[in-house]
Copies of this chain bind each other. A is one copy, B any other.
């Protein structure tokens, strides 16, 4: 017998992973949660059937979502993570001794509990004493918080299902209000390659660039996401991720990273022409 997990990247293209066994399958209040064990990618989990995190390439995503803003402003002390129930983003953040507070707001506690059981390396720092976990709606949390953060990371699913509110203008606007004058917003920014993903990429960029003086997009290779070409957004009131990168300061921390380095930090903001054109035309 062979067991294969298949994800439709579009109606006409699909990616399949051979599965050793299904470890977990629950319908939470918000979504369908499945964990699998595989030869190629180790343990992985899906939400509503879409690949979220696997042991083989999660280092890419979490390196890029955390170290790019941290190398731009090493003085970041208070961080808000929206989503990110797997804990990988928090894990990378806790490597900075200079960070004093990490608030993580994940709508679905069941995701966190399952990741603590089945992805112990990814979720290993959720119990760090600087981390405060809130199992709430990120949209409402940001609207109601009196806290001011130096960095907000939107580590969300796609803008369907529980992640939908995290792609609205209201949400980005409340993020802007919850950020200090030196604040940085990094968000999961979809992909330029397949039409539906590109549509969401343009919608997100259009909203964010209206609200932030500096609004850029950077790319990375994420083999298990549709097309393997994925993007994060970098928005800020003050810091430019290329002009303001602190190369020597970041390298002096001697953090061992498998994907991120300060050369790549600069390089990943150089996008293909067709992606630049899509982002520039996002207003239309």
Contact = CB atoms under 8 A, between A and B. Distances in A.
Given A40-B10, A227-B228, A272-B258, A16 B18 contact: no
Nearest to A192: B221
For the complex, would chain A's binding face be called helix, strand, loop or mixed by DSSP majority?
A: mixed
Number of copies: 2
Interface stretch (A93-101, A136-144, A150-158, A263-271): A263-271
Contacts of A60: 272
A269 B60 CA distance: 17
A contact residues, range: 35 or more
Contact of A223 (B18, B228, B271): B228
Given A17-B12, A223-B193, A227-B228, A264 B259 contact: no
Interface in A43-95: 57, 60
A258 B229 contact: no
- Which among A17, A229, A259, A272 has the highest number of chain B CB atoms within 10 Å? A272
Contact of A273 (B13, B259, B266): B259
- Which among A41, A258, A264, A276 has the highest number of chain B CB atoms within 10 Å? A264
A12 to B, nearest CB: 4
A271 B276 contact: no
Given A228-B221, A267-B269, A16 B14 contact: yes
8 contacts: A13-B41, A15-B15, A15-B16, A57-B193, A193-B221, A221-B228, A258-B273, A260-B272
